[in-house]
Chains A and B, each alone.
Chain A
């Protein structure tokens, strides 16, 4: 199935044909975006993963109530609701626990020890910057940094020399740095 199909068409396929592949494309398209938002809300990787998972499953169950618009934004709103509910629950549980020992520590402070807001923003800027690169350059980044493919193998796959790939990677990195810095300033 073509991954460039619009959200609305994919949702129609899920609702009419019960097609799991259509929903899988939607999940692949938006899971990183929803996960990033969940991460910023929950400040914890496991909780963010749980919230993202729950959001997509809830979106699937309520798909027939989707009113159109951007599917990713809709799932993000669902994830926000779920996340806030979980935080509220945690807080209530935490208050009882902390009250017992007469401690007034805020849960957010505890979570902040493992979470870095600036890093998370940079990470989002990096993801956006990578998404804006030409397809082949994105592929080079994916192979080298996400799949750990050595430069020589990348060069062979693309029919270029290793030095050529090194130079290209250097230029890509410089462009990414600039974009992240630019994003940071904004």
Chain B
């Protein structure tokens, strides 16, 4: 059996301490990246919510206003297309939501 000397054990402790320091540095760097990513995720979530609360109603109002302004001058087929576009968009978005829906959060 090969014996470990005190000198070798001290060298191992020294190297182990170096490893621990390196690992601490790694942990800090990883957590910096993760925290930044989490902050971005939260920001994106709020931006989406704001967009949904304010951006979507504004877009709908502008669209309806434009329809009422220009629809009387449009041919009937184009009028149908103009009405079909938002309906198709809403149905498409709903289908997409259902497709990706998961009961797990």
Q: Which A residues lie at the B interface, using CB under 8 A?
A: 15-16, 18, 20, 23-24, 27-28, 31-32, 35-36, 39, 45, 48-49, 52-53, 56-57, 60-61, 119, 122-123, 126-127, 141, 145-146, 173, 176-177, 180-181, 184-185
Contact = CB atoms under 8 A, between A and B. Distances in A.
Interface residues of B, number: 31
B76 interface: no
Contacts of A18: 38, 41-42
The secondary-structure label for the interface of chain B is helix
B79 interface: no
> Which 10 residue pairs are nearest across A and B when measured between Cβ atoms?
A145-B13, A56-B30, A177-B4, A146-B17, A31-B23, A32-B23, A126-B12, A20-B35, A52-B26, A27-B27
B105 interface: yes
Contacts of A23: 31, 34
B53 interface: no
Nearest to B20: A146
Contacts of B6: 173
